[in-house]
Amino acid sequence: MKYIKLSILFLAGLLILPSCDKALDINTDPLVASSADPNVSLPFVIVQYSSRFESELGTRIMDVPQHFSACFNSPRTGPTTSFLTGNTWGMYYTQVLGNLVLVEQDALAAGESSNNVAAIAKILKAKAFFELSCIWDKIPYSEALDGATFASPNFDDQEAVFQGALSILDEAIALIDKIPAEGVFDVSSGDVLFSGNMDNWRRWANSLKLRILMLLRNKSTSVDGQIQAVLSQPLIETNGQAVMLRYAGGGGATNAFYGIVAAFFGPSNETAQVHGPGEPLYNLLANGDPRFDLFILDPDDLGAPDNGVFPDDNTAVLRDNIIRDNLPHIMFLPSEISFYRAELALLGVT
C-alpha cells in the first residue's frame, strides 16, 4: 500500500511539472518581439518614421509659417484632432522607439562587434525624443519604454529631454570610437541612410548635438562651451554627407507627401491643386529668385492663394517638381550647419 501511494504521488508530480511550463508559456506574449534583426528592423523604423513625418507632420510644418497657403487639419487654423496627433505619437513611441530599444539591447549584448548597430539605434532614439519634445514640450522620457515598470510614465520637462538626448548622442559617439577594425556586424543593407558608413553617422550625431544645443542656448548661454566643443568635431558639411531617405518612386517606394495627393485627390499636385504657395514664400521667390520656377507653377502671374485658401484655376500652385513620388525625405543638410555658424558669429560666440 505504501508503494502504491508513492507511485500515485510520483505520477501526480509528472502531471504538475508540464502544467507549470505551460503556465509560463502563457505569460509570454507570442506577438511581442523580444529581439530584433537590425537589417530588418532599421528599415522598418526609418520608413515608418519618414512616412508619418512626410504625410502628417511635414504638411503642417510647412503650413504654420505659411510656406503653403492652406493645409488640411492644420494647427494654424485650429482643427487638429487627437486622431491625427495620436498617429504621430504612436509612430514615435511604438514603431520607432519600441523597435529601437530591441535593436539597441541586442547590439549591446553582442559586444563591440555590434557597436555600429547600437550607435545607430541610439542616434535615432535621441532624434526621436528630441522631436517629440519639440512637438509636445513635456513628454515621457526617463520612465518611457519600460511599460512593465512604468505603466503610466511621468512627463519630463523639455530641458531634461534635450539634455537626455545629448547624453544618448554622446553614448553613440563613444560606441563608434570603440568599433573594432575587424569582425564588425554588417548593417549596410539595413542602414538605408548611410549604408553602414559610421563616419557619416558620427557627423550626424555631432550635428544633432549642435541643433539641440542651439535651442538650449535660446534659454541659457551656459551651453556656449559645449557649442564650441562640438563645432570642433566632424559635422555634416558637404552635400555628400547630407542625411536623406531616397525614394525610388512607384508602388511601395513613394514619398508619403505625394502619396496623400495621389491617393485622395488626383495624379499630381498641379492637376489636383491641393497645395499652393503661401504669400510669404511666393513674394520672397518672386523677387528674382531663380528657384521660383522650380517651386511654383504660375505662368500667368496669378499670384498666391490667400492665406488659408487652397489653390484653384485662378492662383499659383506648387510644382510637381516639389511634390513627387521620388522626393527624398531630407533630415539634415550642410546648410543648417552654415546657418548655425553664421548665427554664432553674429552673436560673438565664435
CA atoms within 13 A on the CB side of 173: 19
Kindly state the average pLDDT of the residues 43-72: 89
For residues 140 and 154, give the distance between their C-alpha atoms in angstroms, rounded to a whole number.
Answer: 6
For residues 310 and 278, give the distance between their C-alpha atoms in angstroms, rounded to a whole number.
Answer: 10
Least confident of 54-63, 101-110, 196-205, 216-225: 54-63
Residue 34 has a pLDDT of 61
**Is pLDDT at 152 greater than 60 in this prediction?**
yes
**Is pLDDT at 1 greater than 70 in this prediction?**
no
User: Pick the residue with more confidence: 158 or 10?
Assistant: 158
Residue 276 in grid coordinates: 499652393
Contact of 286 with 298, CB cutoff 8 Å: no
Structural domains in the chain, CATH included, are 38-233 (1.25.40.390), 256-318 (no CATH)
Contact of 297 with 86, CB cutoff 8 Å: no
Residue 21 has a pLDDT of 46
Q: Please, which pLDDT band fits residue 56 given cuts at 50, 70 and 90?
A: confident
- 141-148 long-range CB contacts below 8 Å, 24 or more apart? 144/93, 144/97, 145/93, 145/97, 145/98, 145/101
**Is pLDDT at 93 greater than 70 in this prediction?**
yes
**Is pLDDT at 67 greater than 60 in this prediction?**
yes
**Separation of first and last alpha carbons in the chain:** 94
Residue 16 has a pLDDT of 44
Q: Please, which pLDDT band fits residue 8 given cuts at 50, 70 and 90?
A: very low
Residue 35 in grid coordinates: 529581439
Q: What are 297-343's pLDDT values in tens digits?
A: 999 999 999 988 999 999 999 999 999 999 999 999 999 999 999 99
Q: Please, which pLDDT band fits residue 10 given cuts at 50, 70 and 90?
A: very low
Residue 5 has a pLDDT of 45
Residue 2 has a pLDDT of 46
Q: Please, which pLDDT band fits residue 78 given cuts at 50, 70 and 90?
A: low
Q: Please, which pLDDT band fits residue 251 given cuts at 50, 70 and 90?
A: confident
In the chain, pLDDT over 70 holds for what percent of residues? 87
Checking DSSP bridges between strand 329-332 and strand 243-245, what pairing results, if any? antiparallel
Residue 80 has a pLDDT of 62
User: Pick the residue with more confidence: 197 or 30?
Assistant: 197
> In the predicted model, what is the mean pLDDT of the chain?
90
